[in-house]
Amino acid sequence: MLKLRNIVGQCFVLKRHISALYITGDKANENYVTLQPFLDFTGTFRDKVTLQQSIDSRGLNINLESVLAKYATYQTHHEQLQRLEDEREKVTKELKLLTKSAGKSELLDKLRARGKELRNEVKSLKQTLYPIEDDFIHDYLHLPNVLHAHCPQTDEEKLIYRHKPPPTATPVAMHLDRKDLIHFLDNNRYYMMEQAAHFDVDAMQAMVRYFVTHGDFIQTCNPDFVRCVLLEANATPLSQYHLVREEHLLNKLNTAYLTGGGAFESFLGTVTKLSVYPSVLPLRYVACGRSYNREEGLANGPTPSLYTATQTNAVQSFVATQTADEADAELEQVLNMAINFYKALDVPFRIVYVPAASLTPSESLRASIEVYAPSLKRYVCVGRISNYGDYVSKRILFSTRREKHYEFLHLVGGPVLYTTRLIAALIELGIKLEANKLPGALHLGPSMQAMDQHQRDLQEFKDLFK
Amino acid sequence: MKLLTNVQKLLLLNCRNSMNRRLIKSTTKEAAHDQPAITSAQLDELERNVLMRHHRNNIPRIRQLVEDVQVDRGQGAEDTRQELAAELQQLPNATHPRLLTYDNKAMELAKFEHRLQPERAKEFSELARTLNLYRMEHLGNYTGHKSYYLMGQLAMLEQAIIQYALKSLTRNKFNLISVPDLLPRGIIESCGMRTEGERTQVYKLDIGECLSGTSEMALAGYFANRQLTERELPLKVAAVSRCYRAETSGLHEEKGIYRVHQFTKVEMFAIATADQSEPTLEELKNIEIDLFKQLGINFRLLDMPPCELGAPAYQKYDIEAWMPGRQMWGEISSCSNCTDYQAKRLNITYKRACDGAVVYVHTLNGTATAIPRLLIALIESYQSGDHIQIPEVLVPFMNEQRAITKNKKVPETKLVKFVKTGCIR
């Protein structure tokens, strides 16, 4: 099912003739170029066997041989263009020298004629090159990341942690039956009341506070719209998010999508084209906000419920490191913190590495945090953390600079909590929706209430003197 | 002068079909004597209200349509009736008589100034940028026009304000509800917000749904088609939601995060009987005053004139905070009594205890805390040299931190245009 959706998603992307991420020169007049991704052909094609393995394991419909053939044509044309450009430069220099030294007019004329000839040749070669470039680069941009050594290449997920076995078959009511807590209309519209509503806010805040105080993360609040160029850079299937209809859209290619500030893609805006000092690395961000992924929950269907709903509160992590090893360590650290968080609820959950076929092309590894959902009789994903290597960074030019050289950063991150699905599972498991037992929960001292009163009295007193 | 009452408006809006029938009947002299027909004088009164509120004057069109319905009883009559119904739907609520003397200027009811203003106060963007806690520049192509990131302690402050407001609302017996941000067009329009036209503030999605501009709409929608009991009233609920507004501004004084497309807001919403609605509005107002008094910012309470009420409000209070960096009063909160305007459109009723009659409720809404502008007021008011003091009441929600200082861990915004192949390691 997932595999099929990935393929459908891919086809959707492949159908786009013009990408917002890479715009060739002939189209640059009508379409503003917002970003020039770093296209690392050498790096990508260095290990063809591993790349082919990644394509096969993910079940992608990509013919690497054909892409390589296109690359060869592209390279030949490019080299030819480079030769012409070099010669043109040489002629220009000679012309300048001759004019200065008042050289023979015959030679001057000859050089001028050659210059014109070269100009026209470059122009016509560029025209020939545009469609070749278009064809190749778009294929190139669809090539996936290589897989991480831990990523299962079979159809089976790999269990890496489990807390408590799923409860044995006692009949459970579905969460939607709790009309006092949930009013569900459809996947876009539901309401949560009473302790479910409080847990929705409090659990999200607790987890962020835990990451800030115990994991040295920097808290952020992110935008809810992300433009197409960043979704393409992250290889996010565009069908995952709702398109926002904008009245005055300047760049028709670069449309906005409603991701929510609690989506991974929302972090990319603040690091696009960013060059940071190595001293700030590893850079650890955590945000709370909405997430509106309309496809992710469908795997928990077909019956619509809180497990399939589009909107949820989310805690999103984002870490940038200099090396792959550091990225591995950070992923482990985020997972450890997530384990502590879910353990505090004493909920049956597990962490698995999902099979390659379920990854988006930019992910090299994904760990999925799954809580047992009694009504579905299986585990559902309430969070996930992925390793993106430097695949996304290269596309959005997120780098650090050392001794005049750029190094693209390795990214790790993902939503570590989707409150809506967790609440549904907790209700079905009969676990109380209490956020105060969570690590990072707000524990107001007994003086809090009194302090309010004290503050108020003080204020009233001050007001007397106005 | 007393304007058309809600009872009369209810006749106009809720009994559209029967009204149309009456209009026709009145010409054929078959009108029932117990059902008053709409008179030209009533339309005159409606027009005075529309003009006073600076609302789009559609009364001439309504007059025309009323005439057309009377004349045409054939095939075209149904279309005319539908258009008439749509035009009547656009009319604003009646106006509280108190406001008629305001001459379209807000009346300042109270001023709360308990804080000495910092000398040579700096503006929010400058302060937040210096402290490395905020980014708004060069984002249009990536996360959209006027999008912003809050970093470190500023992002923490946002959540602290939410929690602070929720604690206060819980104490005041509000029930928290998690609300959807995607709503069908009908609900938004029933709340008195237009979704079509050049200047609509409502974002629409590819699937046809709209993005909510305030959780008031989702909360009102929650109660749509419900019949409550009088015992349940006044019913008070609250929500934390993300608000989306397509509006934009090029005004210098509205630069930075003053007017943005997306922000978080804690909202109060109440449902009351007609008798309860005025005291409930006072309660919402007092809660707002209390929230801002404790935050220690300087603010004033305004009673808004007819032209500032929008379509659904019968009366509205605004709270404006002094923003010393901008040297201006900026609206940070408001509360409105929409009487039965939204209830009629969403069919929210209650069973009256005394006679068992089913009548429309009154709806009210108020802002507890709307983040971006409250951040402006707080940061500008509490600036103190190279740091920002954290208001005492927020300290427990800020992990006991008392000051906001420069963040050295957030990278500064140094952007590259492109990276050449030869420049990478």
Q: What is the pLDDT of residues B338-348, one digit of tens each?
A: 999 999 999 99
User: Predicted confidence band at A251 (pLDDT cuts at 50, 70, 90)?
Assistant: confident
Residue A313 exposure: Cα atoms within 13 Å on the Cβ side: 26
pLDDT at B418: 83
Backbone phi and psi for residue B266, each to the nearest 5 degrees, phi listed first:
-100, 125
Residue B70: CB atoms within 10 Å = 17
pLDDT at A440: 95
Please enumerate, by residue number, every residue of B annotated as part of a binding site. Answer: 214, 245-247, 260-263, 267, 331-334, 365
Residue B24: CB atoms within 10 Å = 18
C-beta of residue B261 within 8 angstroms of C-beta of residue B146? yes
Per-domain boundaries in chain A = 158-442
pLDDT at B423: 63
Cα gap A30→A17, rounded to integer Å: 15
Cα gap B338→B379, rounded to integer Å: 33
User: Predicted confidence band at A465 (pLDDT cuts at 50, 70, 90)?
Assistant: low
- Which has more confidence, B382 or A108? B382
Q: Which of residues 68-97 of A touch B (CB under 8 A)?
A: none
One-letter amino acid for residue A64 of the chain = L
Contact with chain A for residue B209, Cβ under 8 A: yes
User: What's the full length of chain B, in residues?
Assistant: 425
Q: What is the pLDDT of residues B348-392, one digit of tens each?
A: 999 999 999 999 999 999 999 999 999 999 999 999 999 999 999
Q: What is the mean pLDDT of residues A135-160?
A: 95
Out of B135, B159, B296, closest to residue A205 by CB: B159
Cα gap B145→B194, rounded to integer Å: 22
Q: Are strands A182-186 and A365-373 parallel, antiparallel or unpaired?
A: unpaired
Q: Do A38 and B180 touch (CB under 8 A)?
A: no
- Residue B420 tokens, joined: 């050449």
Q: What is the pLDDT of residues A299-309, one digit of tens each?
A: 998 999 999 99
pLDDT at A32: 74
- Residue A395 tokens, joined: 């596309």
C-beta of residue B387 within 8 angstroms of C-beta of residue B133? no
Least confident of A82-91, A314-323, B69-78, B321-330: B69-78
Closest CA to A208 of A351, A368, A341: A341
CA separation, residue B341 to residues B7, B12, B303, B351 (Å): 11, 12, 20, 18
pLDDT at B104: 86
3-class state of residue A2 by DSSP:
helix
pLDDT at B19: 36
Q: What is the mean pLDDT of residues A86-112?
A: 83
Q: What is the pLDDT of residues A418-458, one digit of tens each?
A: 999 999 999 999 999 999 999 999 988 654 554 555 665 66
DSSP secondary-structure letter at B144?
Answer: -
Contact with chain B for residue A179, Cβ under 8 A: no
- Residue ranges of alpha helices (H) inside B72-151 are 76-90, 124-130, 140-143
Closest CA to B296 of B192, B388, B406: B388
Task: Look up the pTM and report it.
Answer: 0.90
- Ramachandran area for residue B130 (φ above 0: left; ψ -120 to 50: alpha; else beta): alpha
Cα gap A265→B142, rounded to integer Å: 10
User: Predicted confidence band at A461 (pLDDT cuts at 50, 70, 90)?
Assistant: low
Contact with chain A for residue B211, Cβ under 8 A: yes
Out of A198, A225, A405, closest to residue B176 by CB: A198
ipTM over 0.85: yes
The CATH architecture that domain A158-442 belongs to is 2-Layer Sandwich (3.30)
C-beta of residue B292 within 8 angstroms of C-beta of residue B320? no
| pLDDT score of B272 more than 90 | yes
Order of all β-strands in the sheet with B349-351? B227-229, B349-351, B358-360
pLDDT at A5: 45
Cα gap A231→A15, rounded to integer Å: 16
- Residue A325 tokens, joined: 């090893």
Contact with chain B for residue A407, Cβ under 8 A: yes
| pLDDT score of A242 more than 60 | yes
| pLDDT score of A194 more than 80 | yes
User: Predicted confidence band at A343 (pLDDT cuts at 50, 70, 90)?
Assistant: very high
- Residue A436 tokens, joined: 């105060």
Q: What is the mean pLDDT of residues A189-218?
A: 97
Strand partners, A413: A318, A386
Would the CA dihedral through B209, B211, B212, B218 be positive or negative?
positive
Q: Which domains does chain B have, with CATH numbers?
A: 6-92 (no CATH), 100-404 (3.30.930.10)
What is the least distance, in Å, from the CA of B318 to any CA of chain A? 21
pLDDT at A453: 56
User: Predicted confidence band at A158 (pLDDT cuts at 50, 70, 90)?
Assistant: very high
C-beta of residue B154 within 8 angstroms of C-beta of residue B134? yes
| pLDDT score of B26 more than 90 | no
| pLDDT score of A403 more than 90 | no
- Residue B22 tokens, joined: 């009456």
pLDDT at A237: 94
What is the least distance, in Å, from the CA of B190 to any CA of chain A? 17
Cα gap B372→A267, rounded to integer Å: 19
